Amino acid sequence: MKLSSEQQQLLIEAAIAVRHWAYVPYSHYAVGAAVLTSSGKVYDGVNVESAAYPTTMCAERVAIFKAISEGERSFDAIAVVTENAGSPCGSCRQIMAEFGPDAIVLIADVHGVIKKETTVAELLPQAFTLKDLPQH
């Protein structure tokens, strides 16, 4: 899938708009994400930290889980916005591979400048997916 410049801008703006809701009292590294589902809907998310660090949840997974909880099962693109255009972590890449292995990933800074455009497959080559599990 190829995103139009309007679709790219919509996703980046959605991720920027929610980023201020991030709960980041420990890292102070706010992340906003917006996922475009295959049905055409956009779901957003922010990172939520916890004093029990392992329970922290990333913005990308929050956005995808919101979409999943509304019945969506695949997505075409995701925008991730941070101060310095940081890349999604390994856990987020794994979830992205589960629901959008060929999806476009836009990584942008807080000014909306896309620093990298890639795909989930490029971010996580040879991802472990359902096809790797034995069939019962």
Active centre residues (catalytic) = 60
* CA–CA distance, 58 with 85 (Å, rounded to integer): 14
Query: Beta-strand (E) ranges in 21-100?
Result: 32-37, 42-46, 75-82
Written as six digits, the tokens of 129 are 């997916």
Cα 14 to the center of its chain, rounded Å: 12
Q: Which residues pair with 116 in a beta bridge?
A: 107
3-state SS, residue 120: helix
List helix spans (H) across 20-112: 59-69, 90-99
